A and B are shown apart, each in its own frame.
Chain A
Amino acid sequence: MTSSAVLATVEAAERKGRTRRPRRSAVARRDAIVGYTMVAPVVLGSVAFVIVPLVAVLWFSLHDWNVLANTFVFSGADNYERMLSDPGLRDSLLASLWFSIGLVVLNVTLALFLAVLLNQKLPGTTTFRTFFFSPVVVSLVAWTIVWSFLLQADGGINGFLSLIGIQGPNWLRGDFTAMVSVIIVQVFKNVGLNMILFLAALQGVPEEIGEAARIDGAGAWRRFRSITLPMISPTILLVMILTIVGSLEVFAQIAVLTGGGPGNSTTVLVYYLYQQAFRFNDFGYASAIAVLMFLIVLALTLVQWQTRKRWVFHEN
């Protein structure tokens, strides 16, 4: 076939294709409009409140932005270079690390322990479930303010300790005790939510598998380790991701309880970011820290997601 003949054939085929494309019926068009209308709020919301701010923060992080002087000057990677030699940022990363480790270990362990306890068919379990879940629905700031009174040198906790002959420390004024206090306040606030997630997972474990193992002579611990834990591992993955991401977002507790102190011992990454932006008016640098934080959360989530095949049931 000559080239002109080929072209002619292609053109004819295209014309044919165009003319043969099935026309959408009125019903299909209406369905499409309804569909787009249904998803529009979510899409628009995501674009306006997630995508645009995310890109804007990336853009801001490349600028030296002085709010008071109203200057916005492109500075390239200066803010990122500054991060490398900023001891305050290093301290805040360390504080975040300690906070996250403490929170994840305590929260997940306690939530699982409570869920196992409250999964028993015993009278009063509903009351205890409500009791442990109730802090989840309490206002975070109100919860933290109440704890700030309890943790004062002459507050409720030390008052209780003195009744049993113990002189409690000034909880929020020591480096170690302040961090422990902030972690515990956060653990008690959210452990109920994780407990409910674990409880739902535990109730989804088929009883007959445990029963079969018991007949085979497996003890309670063996059954828990070899059957229950693997069966609820998808929930463990979910809880781990939620708790780790949540631990990096902790702010109100720090702001209300310690203000980042004593020293900088509880100045976690988000609080450091807040200081840079809203106290020091350094929005460019704060945006660079926000990008760093985004990358850290992304990396941690990806690592957990990628390693799930090794330990999450149903994933291998």
Chain B
Amino acid sequence: MSPLNTRRRLSLTAGAGIAAVALALTGCSGSPAGTETPDEPVELRMTVWTADETQLAMFQEIADAYVAENPELVSKVTFEPIPFEDYTTTLTTQLAGGNAPDLGWILESYAPEFVSSGALADITDTLKDDEDYDYDDLLDSSLALWQKDDRLFAYPFSNSPFAMFVNTDQLEAAGQPNPADLVASGDWTFDAARDMSAAAAETSGTAGLVVRDFDYQAWEVLASVWAAWGAAPWSEDGTTCTLTDPEMVDAMTWYHDAVFVDGAIPGPGVTADFFAGDAAMTITQISRASALDDSFAWDIVPLPDGPGGHQNVIGQAGIGVFANAEHPTVAADFLAYFTDPANAEKLATYFPPPRESLLNAETLGAANPKLSEEQLQAVVVDGIQDAVTKPTHVNFAKLQDAVRSQLDAMWTADADVEQVLSGTCEAITPLLEG
């Protein structure tokens, strides 16, 4: 082979390689097939963020039953755990690489972005046309976030209310009342929780009240606090910043003072794990109850009331079928099976379902032996009713980062809360409008 030919071949090979990589990375390597029944059984893959072996075993059991019933459609279903912290990033990288999973869990904050972008397949007809599915049993309020123009793009398999977990040992040692009694008497307020936490922190030397997972970064978790003031970061249509509304200013001032004046909430840079006995109270989702053991006496009560009254807050997660995956029709059929009434009851062991018929203390009690029926009724069943979710937006990723970087200025003792919120509004308004 002459040198010239060798060079030409090399450049052709390199060019072909670049084109192949570019095509693969742009997801153009193959148009989505599977709009009809496949010629031979296919393999499905679902990404999840749980690594809990008992949960994965339950998913696999349901999937294996589906494969046994539909051997002509599916030969295998694989559940791929991805760490929660990197979940959405890893998922979008897979999408970018033309390696979309067939199904995947989706965080509520990113729901509008996934739903509106066209990344997810429309599953409305698949679920509605399934006679055994009982689509009308699904709570409208649970579905709202996952719909566009009345079409459903993901099934909200988990509807986990935020609640207050309390270490009654620490409260008793500090001579504080039992929160359950305050709930009964109607005196369970954020101010009461703050005072009790501050007293417990002073007595026990541990942290008082911890808003779990906030860590002065994931500010959206503070929705479990500001909702009781009737506050929200932006208007319902997502176009106007409402961080400077009096309700939000009051709520954030309350939080700031609870940290820097009252000493009721640990400040930035302090790590405190309620489940390890490091804090007197924590606000987190009920799904964390499995982390409780008998190392201290505990109770779970609804979120406290605020100046705006009582407001339930839930964290949701959905399962979607990816439009660019190879077998969206088969994947949607599997989703209908995976979340039908019988399997939704199994899933209820870990994930409060969006089905009205299953939202009762008896069903949930069988799955959550650590919680009493009263706790389940008060926190889970009642907690899902009329609940709001954490903030969501079609441009959430950029908003999350922009708000986080602005709010950093608030977490010092001498910060001017109103001024920081005003600056935050200024920074995010282009993102809201864009």
Contacts and interface: CB of A to CB of B under 8 A. Distances in A.
A263 B409 contact: yes
Contacts of A283: 96
A259 B21 contact: no
Interface string B17-46: 110011001111000000000000000000
Interface in A151-197: 152-155, 170-173
How large, as a class, is the contact surface on chain B? 35 or more
B270 A173 contact: no
B129 interface: no
A279 B397 contact: yes
Interface string B111-130: 00110011100000000000
Interface string A45-81: 0011001110110011000011111101000000000
B18 A275 contact: no
Contacts of B416: none
Given A65-B26, A173-B411, A259-B217, A70 B17 contact: no
B143 to A, nearest CB: 21
Given A53-B21, A56-B21, A69-B119, A281 B92 contact: yes
Contact of B401 (A69, A170, A171, A275): A275
A153 B413 CA distance: 14
B14 interface: yes
Interface string A256-271: 0001111110000000
A106 to B, nearest CB: 24
B95 interface: yes
A67 B17 contact: no
B398 interface: yes
A52 B25 contact: no
B268 A173 contact: yes
B404 interface: yes
Nearest to B95: A67
Contact of B269 (A55, A59, A152, A278): A152
A67 B405 contact: no
14 contacts: A52-B21, A56-B22, A67-B92, A67-B96, A68-B113, A68-B114, A68-B117, A68-B119, A154-B269, A173-B216, A173-B408, A261-B408, A262-B405, A262-B409
Interface of B: 14, 17-18, 21-22, 25-28, 89, 92-93, 95-96, 113-114, 117-119, 216-217, 267-271, 323-324, 397-398, 401, 404-406, 408-409, 411-412
Lowest 6 CB-CB distances: which A-B pairs, in order?
A153-B269, A68-B117, A262-B408, A68-B119, A72-B26, A69-B117
Given A173-B269, A262-B409, 4 more contacts: A53-B21, A56-B22, A259-B404, A263-B409
